A and B are shown apart, each in its own frame.
Chain A
Amino acid sequence: MVTDLGIALARVLFVMLFVLNLGGLLTWVERKQSAIMQDRIGANRASIFGFRILGLFHPLADAIKMLTKEDFLPARADRFLFTLAPFVSVFFALVAFASIPFGDTLRVAGREIPLQAITLNAGVLYVFAMLSLGVYGVMMAGWSSANNYALIGGQRAAALMISAEIAIGASIMGVVMVYGSLNMMEIVRAQGAYLLGWIPLWGIVTQPLAFVLFLTAGVAATKRIPFDTPEGESEIIGYFVEYSGMKFGMFAMADFLETVVIAGMTTALFLGGWQIPYLAADGLRFPWGSVVALPHLAVTLLQVGAFVLKVVVMIFFLMLVRWTLPRFRYDQAMRLGWLGLFPLSIANIVITGAALLVLGGRA
């Protein structure tokens, strides 16, 4: 009983610390990656006893700065909702990662431990639901600030989220149809099959169109450039215009956490999650017949490592997109969501259905 509780706690803690630390580290990644992309060096001045270690102290300095800044409350703002909004934003971004599996079932001392924070049969829907609930924090911030620009920002966030979430949901449907499950663990496990005996049957292979649609809508769901209409620094400052100190920091944090969640979801649904090509439960089994046996623990560690690596690469890609593309105008973002992504993802469902019908059952 106590051991079970401990194991459950360890699973939750692992995921939480992974997401939180990665989210915190993303402020550094963003600074440095954008700098290197633009032939610059990037923030490197924060130091402790003269040590700078590539500017890694900057996230720390940021946190100290934000915690010690004035916690401003606008005179006409709704005190309760204004304070609650950033917490809601961060909370839903954090819990969304819970049903994404980071490894296969671990067998230790006769126990079977599924390597995900919570095992849910409707895991896909859960992530989806938590991601959309996150927009309530943004809307609350917009409404409760008693500031017209914040209100416009909150309203834009809601509109953008709806148009993006529909495309996300509809594009995921294709994946769910192919792998025949809403359980994230089952979906990842099903991606261990091979097409023609050697092509890993990852989501990106079976659902290339859905991958592009999901990624585009996912970037929109993170509210970052090129879909940063809710913030719109150049025009309305956005839903957090009245926020200061750590409350503002939490909104920034929520954006980074959502990036991690989108990267994790893309990994789990389209990039084979913790799957490594040709790595079976008992070792490497190459299509040309050679077998390299590996102990269970090594296989599990490799799988967790592969998952983390895939998430990091996905985050790198999302950052690359964020620092490459110019931002969409509000109406362009709406048009892309409703007239581009949504019909295409519906078409994808129809095509997938027809293909499954022709090929017979699950792929």
Chain B
Amino acid sequence: MRLGQRFYLVEVFSGVGLTARHFFQNMGRHLAHALGGRGARGAVTIQYPEERRPYSPRLRSLHRLVRREDGSPRCVACMMCETVCPAHCIYIVADEHPNPEIEKMPQRFDIDLGKCVFCGFCVEACPEDAIRMDTGILEFSSYSRDGMIYTKEMLLALEPATADGRPRSPIPIPADRRA
């Protein structure tokens, strides 16, 4: 250690000087903003619920089921996603599709988000591009485990996020919280 460091007091003052500089710099910026200035902000804080950092377009958020033009799911119930899912959180019941050109359609398509690990394998595995994770919705919660199970209807109603990652559709309300 240098002599100055051994004496400690010198280092104390250099440290206090550093934090004091931060204080006065940030205080000045806060005051400038309070007076209508447009310069650098005094804090790096993002005031979360009101203010969000832009999400990456690659972000894996809440799943949605892509719709055909008539509004029915594009999914053909091939069970690829259910098979590849490492968390076993997808549950599909297949059904006949009225159109003979389309092989099958899901009668039920449930995702248990309490189990989902958001790996995105289901999106990769899907041959029909029927499931995507681009809704930008991250805040879904429930007081019960059943509430974390999202059904086909809920997933079909979701829209993709905007370019800056802002969700376009409201967060689906699970069945047990619906009035």
Asked whether, in the complex, the Cβ of A36 is within 8 Å of the Cβ of B43, the reply is yes
- What residues of chain A lie closer than 8 Å to B16, measured between beta carbons? 320-321, 324-325
The main secondary structure of chain B at its interface with chain A is helix
Q: Which residues of A approach B to under 8 Å, CB–CB? A: 33, 35-41, 212, 320-321, 323-325
Interface size class of B (residues with CB under 8 A): 10 to 19
User: Which of B19-27, B70-78, B101-109, B156-164 forms contacts with chain A?
Assistant: B19-27
Do the beta carbons of A37 and B19 come within 8 Å of each other?
A: yes
Is B43 within 8 A of A39, CB to CB? yes
Cα distance A39–B22 when bound, in Å?
Answer: 7
Is B67 close to A, CB under 8 A? Answer: no
Rounded to whole angstroms, the CA-CA distance of A294 and B17 in the bound complex is 38
The answer to whether residues A41 and B19 also contact, given A36-B27, A36-B30, A212-B9 and a CB cut-off of 8 A, is no
Question: How far, in Å, is B13 (CB) from chain A's closest CB?
Answer: 10
A35 with B15, Cβ < 8 A, contacts A212-B9, A320-B20 known: no
In the complex, which of the residues A41, A212, A321, A324 contacts B43, with contact meaning CB atoms closer than 8 Å?
A41
Q: Indicate if the CB atoms of A33 and B23 lie closer than 8 Å.
A: yes
Q: How many A-B residue pairs have CB under 8 A?
A: 43
Per the bound structure, the CA–CA distance linking A41 and B29 in Å amounts to 12
Which residues on the A side are within 8 Å of B26 (C-beta)?
36-37, 39
Given contacts A36-B42, A40-B44, A320 and B23 within 8 Å (CB-CB): yes
B47 lies within 8 A of chain A by Cβ: yes
> B-side interface residues toward A, CB under 8 Å?
9, 12, 15-16, 18-20, 22-23, 26-27, 30, 42-45, 47
Instruction: Indicate if the CB atoms of A325 and B22 lie closer than 8 Å.
Output: no
How many angstroms between the C-alpha atoms of A33 and B22 in the bound complex? 11
Complex Cα distance, B67 from A153, in Å, reads 65
Chain B residues whose C-beta falls within 8 Å of the C-beta of A325 in the assembled complex? 12, 15-16
CA–CA, A28 and B176, complex, Å: 41
Residues of B within 8 A of A41 (CB): 43, 45, 47
| Minimum CB distance partner of B24 in chain A | A36
Residues of chain A with a CB closer than 8 A to B9's CB: 212
23 examples of A-B residue contacts, CB within 8 angstroms: A33-B23, A36-B22, A36-B23, A36-B27, A36-B42, A37-B23, A38-B22, A39-B22, A39-B42, A39-B45, A40-B43, A40-B44, A41-B43, A41-B45, A320-B16, A320-B19, A321-B16, A323-B19, A324-B12, A324-B16, A324-B18, A325-B12, A325-B16
A35 to B30 alpha-carbon distance, docked (Å): 12
Measured in the bound complex, the distance between the Cα atoms of B9 and A94 in whole Å is: 30
**What is the minimal beta-carbon distance from A325 to any residue of chain B, in angstroms?**
6
Q: How far is the CB of A210 from chain B (nearest CB, A)?
A: 14
In the bound assembly, the distance between CA atoms of A212 and B20 in angstroms comes to 18
A40→B45 contact, CB < 8 A? yes
A211 to chain B, nearest CB (A): 12
**Chain A residue with the shortest CB-CB distance to B47:** A41
Known: A36-B43, A39-B42. 20 other contacts (CB 8 A): A33-B23, A35-B43, A36-B23, A36-B26, A36-B27, A37-B22, A37-B23, A39-B22, A39-B26, A40-B43, A40-B45, A41-B43, A41-B45, A41-B47, A320-B20, A321-B12, A323-B19, A324-B15, A324-B16, A324-B18
Question: Cβ of A40: which chain B residues have Cβ within 8 Å of it?
Answer: 43-45
